[in-house]
């Protein structure tokens, strides 16, 4: 281990040991060790191929396309679900869940729709983009939960009203869920002693802003990502490596 990395890890460990509140902002990179590909970036599912119809993935996976041609949107929703089928949470998710036992206030703000944080034991989770296992009818608003999509039709329809069913996830062009945004704002207003950005490229303002705000408040900010992001030059500590490795090295001895 380089002396530079050792100093960074010691700084993170000391801050966490003294902290009463932690925020983990997570993206696809934390679930990649579970075998789930990211959608863009290193190892991205859609890096080299756009939908067969000649549309971008942002167009195919949009709320407008779901309304206009739901069979196209569902084709790619099925692909995303299949990529996560049979997979489960990893050591990174477990360590974040264990942090709730160490600090009095720990929250997870995740962009992931795989539900792994909750399955690993985290209770305070804001899954801002939803959960792919939660389904809702676009007609009667009936809801259900499914473990996987193997029993679903290519274009699922509601058995009660016959309308198209959709996953409770935020598609491109759709607004974030109001209740989750309000909860996020409430917790961010209280502030956090240490803020981690884990496995996310931080392209969305609501993912970037909590890190920037923590920096303004003089709180420690930590980025864990093998690639550089829009936040890399602004955080206090940058660990250019995978989520599981960095979390194990920085948190294990404090939490176990």
End-to-end CA distance of the chain: 22
Residue 91: which of 244, 194, 195 has the closest Cα? 244
Candidates 93, 117, 129, 133; catalytic one: 129
The verdict on whether 129 is a catalytic residue reads: yes
Based on the number of CB atoms within 10 Å of its own CB, is 37 exposed (0-12), middle (13-18) or buried (19 or more)?
A: middle
DSSP letter for each residue of 69-111: -HHHHHHHHHHHHHHHTT----HHHHHHHHHHHHSSEEEEEE-
Count of other CB atoms within 10 angstroms of residue 188: 18
Query: Which positions are catalytic?
Result: 129
């Amino acid at each position: 281990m380089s002396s530079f990395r050792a100093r960074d890890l010691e700084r993170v460990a000391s801050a966490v040991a003294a902290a009463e509140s932690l925020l983990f902002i997570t993206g696809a990179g934390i679930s990649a060790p579970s075998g789930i590909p990211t959608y863009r970036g290193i190892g991205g599912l859609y890096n080299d191929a756009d939908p067969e119809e000649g549309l971008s993935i942002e167009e195919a996976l949009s709320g407008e396309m779901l309304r206009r041609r739901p069979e196209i949107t569902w084709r790619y929703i099925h692909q995303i679900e299949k990529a996560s089928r049979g997979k489960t949470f990893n050591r990174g998710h477990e360590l974040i869940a264990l942090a709730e036992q160490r600090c009095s206030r720990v929250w997870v703000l995740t962009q992931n729709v795989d539900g792994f944080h909750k399955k690993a034991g985290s209770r305070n989770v804001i899954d801002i983009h939803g959960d792919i296992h939660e389904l809702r009818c676009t007609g009667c608003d009936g809801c259900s939960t499914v473990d996987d999509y193997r029993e679903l039709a290519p274009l699922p329809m509601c058995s009660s009203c016959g309308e198209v069913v959709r996953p409770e996830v935020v598609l491109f062009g759709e607004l974030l869920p109001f209740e989750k945004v309000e909860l996020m704002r409430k917790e961010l207003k209280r502030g956090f002693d240490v803020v981690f950005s884990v496995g996310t490229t931080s392209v969305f303002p609501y993912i970037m802003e909590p890190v920037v705000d923590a920096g303004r408040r003089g709180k420690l900010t930590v980025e864990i990502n093998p690639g550089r992001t829009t936040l890399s030059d602004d955080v206090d500590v940058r660990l250019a490596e995978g989520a599981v490795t960095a979390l194990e090295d920085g948190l294990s001895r404090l939490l176990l």
